[in-house]
Amino acid sequence: MTRALILGGTADASLLAEAVARAGIVAVYSYGGRTRAPAEQPLPTRIGGFGGVSGLADTIRREGITHVIDATHPFAAEMSRNAVAACAETGTPLIALERAPWTKVPGDNWIDAADVTAAAAVLPEAQANVFLAIGRQHIAPFAMKPQHTYTLRFVDPPEAPLPFAADVIVSRGPFTLDGELEMMRTRGIAWIVARNSGGDGARAKIDAARMLGLPVIMILRPELPRRRRVESLTDVMQWLGHSTRLGA
Ligand code: 3Y8
Ligand code: NAP
């Protein structure tokens, strides 16, 4: 009897939860608890950390989990690493549902950066209008360049004071091309900082930057341990022993 744990928190994970619920597979959906009002899921849902590798291993044993699907974000590296370790420790099958990174197309002007600190170092010394589309958790390194006029975008309003002066857009996405073009034009954005998240939910800002001829400082994905990895929902369902026949 399958009992799946979905490590979620992304648009792809929500689509997977729908397919799993429709197939009648017993499963639980897990959020890390980063946002105040995460989207409802059609599955029993838990919110918050497990307590590291041992906490996740205990949860797997206690709940009788038979399959783990890591459908977290490509930058949720700690969660993904913990899932690999806990599944190895408990001998639980694990699969990662991970969208392909965005790739450059003609007209893209990307500057790769290994991490957020490297991204901040790329910014010029002269004052510029900069859009940081990297969420709330990792913005501190930009305090080293306070001369810029920053626009940030968060899912929820900031609770603590920001490490530097900035204007915050509160929006959960997914985002539209027209909305991104409008925002960048009205704010005179000259630089965009983004993570190579892949997927459609955040791609619009990359397309808008190309259309406006703006440079994107693209933060590369963290290295993750080797694990079974697929990009499609169908592959996950087959792995769970359920084909998703059209209209099924
Ligand atoms: C809590 C679940 C859906 C889900 C929407 C996707 C699309 C919009 C793109 C920009 C980039 C960013 C951020 C982003 C994207 C989708 C998707 C995606 C980027 C929610 C969600 C949770 C989170 C957590 C949140 C992080 C933050 C990152 C904002 C729900 C809405 C910047 C990632 O305030 C915070 O603390 C936010 C934290 C982790 C990165 C960070 O470090 O700040 N996502 N995002 C998940 C949990 O608790 O487990 O609230 O419903 C999910 C989505 N985020 O249903 O369509 O790709 O899936 N989320 C990045 O790409 O760099 C926004 O603004 O252009
Ligand atoms: P992270 O840094 O990799 O994880 C830090 C810790 O948060 C994990 O060790 C775990 O705590 C807890 N955690 C993370 N995701 C969890 C989940 N789905 N269920 C239960 N606990 C979870 O993670 P993050 O980058 O902050 O991302 C947190 C969540 O936001 C994830 O669900 C991710 O899919 C979603 N998200 C992240 C991004 C992003 O850019 N990082 C973008 C969109 C959505 P314990 O060690 O205590 O178990």
pLDDT one-digit tens code per residue, 198-246: 988 889 999 999 999 999 999 999 999 999 999 999 999 999 997 554 4
E strands along the chain, which residues?
3-7, 26-31, 45-47, 67-70, 94-97, 110-113, 129-132, 149-154, 166-170, 191-195, 216-219, 229-230
Which residue spans of the chain are classified as CATH 3.40.50.720?
3-100+224-239, 110-219
The CATH class, in words, for 110-219 is alpha beta
In the predicted model, is pLDDT for residue 247 greater than 50?
no
pLDDT for 248 equals: 39
Average confidence (pLDDT) over 58-66? 98
Ligand 1 pocket check for 53: Cβ under 6 Å: no
In the predicted model, is pLDDT for residue 97 greater than 90?
yes
Whole-structure pTM value: 0.95
- pLDDT per residue as tens digits for the range 116-167: 999 999 999 999 999 999 999 999 999 999 999 999 999 999 999 999 999 9
User: Ligand 2 pocket by C-beta < 6 Å: which residues?
Assistant: 7-10, 30-32, 34, 49-52, 55-56, 72-73, 75-79, 82, 135, 137
| Homologous superfamily (CATH) for 3-100+224-239 | NAD(P)-binding Rossmann-like Domain (3.40.50.720)
**Gap from CA of 21 to ligand 1 centroid (Å):** 23
Residue 173: pLDDT band (50, 70, 90) is confident
Q: Which element (helix H / strand E) includes 45?
A: strand 45-47
Give the three-class secondary structure for 49.
Answer: coil
Q: Which residues pair with 26 in a beta bridge?
A: 3
Measuring CA to CA, which residue among 89, 98, 91 is closest to residue 8? 98
